[in-house]
């Protein structure tokens, strides 16, 4: 399948490579010429274009183009500019962490031009190239069917890790809740390890404990695997500032809980804890920051 992709950051470049490795013809664009040059050197089998116009003209109709740029204004501007060079029945897949309400609005606007849209919540971070991505896809069934070979190639296997979860907006809504749950899980691990860190009596080896919990424990998980890796790299996390960002989805999930009058105390407390991390120096917050770096390549603040 011939596929376009816009945005060659951490996830976009890996997704382009994974699709190319599964014998899709990938045509890619990034607004940064240095990133385009780097991708051209590292991935000679991927066609790198210098403009949206070149990208659109290189693809057959109906064009299928994945947008992998930051949510908010960058996504808004990219989809707006892209709509100027696409034609009726072309398909835009928003694979970023957009607010589902924005996805529904953008889809309605594109319909006036006959351009179709899919919102894809994508989880997997920087590990997706090798291990595959979890994809929660929203959109009209006939539109999703056309793009399905893309999702099955990006997923861990053609039979697992991908689901068409509902109409437009459902993909990003599901990913929003996914990230809210992620906040809570990460917070629980961080608090537990901080409690053990504070118990001087036993001089516990936290890297050892994280490692042993990975095997047949009730609380084993991929996040625990990444926690073990972070502690193995730096047992005291001495080089990390206890500053934990939130990328938006957690806030949106809490707002949704208020709208629906559905209590989500764990998610809410985990979000509040991230706010608190920016005022206090505690081991647990360092571990949260380290986990985010491990699974998503998110930046961490290093001590000078």
Active centre residues (catalytic): 175, 182
Cα separation of 108 and 274, whole Å? 35
Two structure tokens written together for 279: 């005022």
CB 257, CB 184: distance < 8 Å = no
- Please provide the DSSP assignment of 80-103 as one string: HHHHTT--TT-EEEE-S---HHHH
Cα separation of 96 and 100, whole Å? 11
Two structure tokens written together for 266: 């764990």
- Of 12, 257, 228, the C-alpha closest to 122 is 12
Residue with tokens 């996040």: 223
Cα separation of 88 and 105, whole Å? 18
CB 117, CB 110: distance < 8 Å = yes
- Alpha-carbon distance values, 6 to 94, 96, 203, 263 (Å): 10, 11, 50, 38
């Amino acid at each position: 399948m011939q596929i376009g992709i816009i945005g060659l950051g951490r996830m976009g470049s890996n997704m382009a490579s994974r699709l190319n490795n599964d014998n899709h013809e990938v045509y890619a664009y990034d607004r940064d010429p240095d990133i385009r040059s780097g991708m051209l050197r590292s991935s000679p089998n991927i066609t790198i274009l210098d403009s949206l116009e070149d990208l659109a003209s290189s693809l057959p109709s109906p064009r299928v183009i994945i947008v992998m740029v930051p949510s908010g204004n960058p996504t808004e501007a990219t989809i707006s500019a892209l709509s100027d060079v696409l034609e009726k029945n072309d398909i835009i897949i928003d694979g970023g962490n957009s607010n589902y309400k924005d996805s529904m609005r953008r889809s309605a606007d594109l319909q006036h031009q006959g351009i179709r849209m899919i919102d894809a919540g994508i989880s997997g971070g920087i590990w997706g190239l090798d291990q595959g991505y979890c994809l929660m896809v929203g959109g009209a069934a006939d539109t999703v069917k056309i793009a399905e070979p893309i999702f099955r190639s990006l997923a861990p296997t053609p039979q697992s890790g991908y689901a068409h979860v509902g109409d437009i907006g459902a993909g990003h809504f599901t990913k929003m809740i996914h990230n809210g749950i992620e906040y809570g899980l990460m917070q629980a691990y961080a608090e537990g390890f901080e409690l053990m860190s504070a118990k001087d009596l036993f001089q516990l080896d936290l890297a050892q404990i994280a490692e042993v919990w990975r095997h047949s424990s009730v609380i084993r998980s991929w996040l625990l695997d990444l926690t073990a890796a972070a502690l193995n790299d730096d047992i005291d996390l001495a080089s990390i500032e206890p500053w934990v960002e939130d990328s938006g989805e957690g806030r949106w999930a809490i707002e949704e809980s208020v709208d629906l009058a559905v209590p989500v105390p764990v998610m809410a407390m985990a979000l509040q804890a991230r706010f608190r991390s920016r005022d206090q120096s505690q081991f647990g917050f360092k571990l949260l920051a380290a986990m985010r770096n491990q699974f998503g390549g998110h930046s961490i603040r290093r001590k000078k």
